[in-house]
Structure 1
């Protein structure tokens, strides 16, 4: 699970990452990355809308994305802010598919 210091919690931070970050798209997710160059651990945020499914489905997708990001923290550049938006097709994806897609995007945009 992601530690508190590794989470984006403020709406302004979400907006700045989505509006100003570099983007990497896949069939199930869209990943936005902003490199702040601050001396802190990377932070992650997740956007899973009602288009993905009901509450159970959305929470399952969010938990899977959090687990993927918790594994990826050591390989992400310090000070990076990452927001992952789940697309409706993420509801039918298994953990490995989400992991492959998010890992590919993080390697392209936020590798240490």
Structure 2
């Protein structure tokens, strides 16, 4: 499980990341990422807004995972979410200062943990290198 500061929770954060962020895709996942410093939305909570203003909070990556019904039944979707959360948690150091949305493609339902992690690594490498 990703800790609370590392989770995207609000729909506007997901929308901003998907619409304005850079994208890299593979057979099983699509990764959208945008720098937190370029995120123009306002937080509803003043306490959270104050926390966001600190330098450490701006470097803390936030990750959201989207798994649609096209992936499979509830059991398969939850399995994919668990696997992607685990893979993302171990890669938080690579995501410093980013808002990231990981979207599972339908083929993710039959993929192993190693395949999902490998595809996530390839997408993150493409995003870090500047190519799509």
Residue range with higher mean Cα deviation, 20-29 or 34-43: 34-43
- Which of 61, 72, 87 is residue 105 of structure 2 equivalent to? 87
* TM-score, length basis structure 1: 0.92
Greater C-alpha Rg? 2
Determine which structure has the larger helix proportion and give its number: 2
Aligned to 2:123: 105
Structure 2 stretches lacking a partner, 5+ long: 38-54
* RMSD value, Cα: 1.4
2:61 equivalent to 1:42: yes
- How far did 1:110 drift? 4.6
* TM-score, length basis structure 2: 0.78
> What is the distance in 1 between the residues matched to 2:29 and 2:94?
19
Aligned to 2:49: none
2:114 equivalent to 1:96: yes
Q: How does 1:8-19 map to 2 (within 5 A)?
A: 8-19=8-19
Aligned to 1:27: 27
> What is the distance in 2 between the residues matched to 1:69 and 1:84?
9
> What is the distance in 2 between the residues matched to 1:59 and 1:49?
10
Moved over 6 A (4+): none
- Which of 74, 88, 98 is residue 55 of structure 1 equivalent to? 74
